Structure 1
């Protein structure tokens, strides 16, 4: 006589997981078309944004669908600068947030 003894443990406990605060930006032109290759910089405050200095993280580029995901952010508000050639988001609402902690936050940025 033979038998098998199986023991199952669930290692997917949600209280052991760490969720990061991320931001998915979609960059669109004024016609609503995605903008590939746009440069994105995030700033923690308006002074740095206005002076175009001390951006956080790195400089990001949008993919062919005009999207980029920026990971491991604080649940704060951010000033966003987007440029591609002569197109930019100056004077069109540059603040994103405050972000929700431990979530994938989403925002669209229009450049013209």
Structure 2
């Protein structure tokens, strides 16, 4: 009987502690949703997007995070299961790219879907 009460008390204490963690951090991996837009502000379907973890890798175009992704009809790609750090984005479609128009994200927030717009021109 005492053992059952102790077990129930322990389970209650654990569930109480977990209830104070935001739901996003319990269930969602850290993700980055990138929307590619052109200089007029229109979304770009079919743009190739590559993610890098360092500026050096970005400059040398090596050690990409995962496979390159292609934007959907809403101009979006999503990279999942990322670390909460700064990333560097390369986006291109035809002869347009994002050089000089923003390539670095802010530090991602853990357990959230982080969102960023990238302009190609």
TM-score w.r.t. the length of structure 1 is 0.83
Partner of residue 47 from structure 1, selected from 53, 56, 64 = 56
Secondary structure at the aligned position of 2:41 is classed as coil
Q: 1:8 matched to which residue of 2?
A: none
What is the alpha-carbon distance in structure 2 between the residues aligned to residue 18 and residue 65 of structure 1?
25
Match of 1:72 in 2: 81
Unaligned 5+ residue runs, structure 1?
Answer: 1-12
Higher strand share: 1
Could you tell me which residue of structure 1 aligns to residue 94 of structure 2?
85
More helix by share: 2
In the alignment, structure 2 segments of 5+ residues that lack a partner are 1-17
User: With structure 2 as the length reference, what TM-score do the two structures score?
Assistant: 0.77
- 1:55-104 CA-partner distances (Å, limit 9, x unpaired): 11111110011011111111000000001101100111200120000011
2: distance between equivalents of 1:75 and 1:62? Answer: 22
Q: 1:8-32 deviations in whole A, cap 9, x for unaligned?
A: xxxxx86694321011111000000
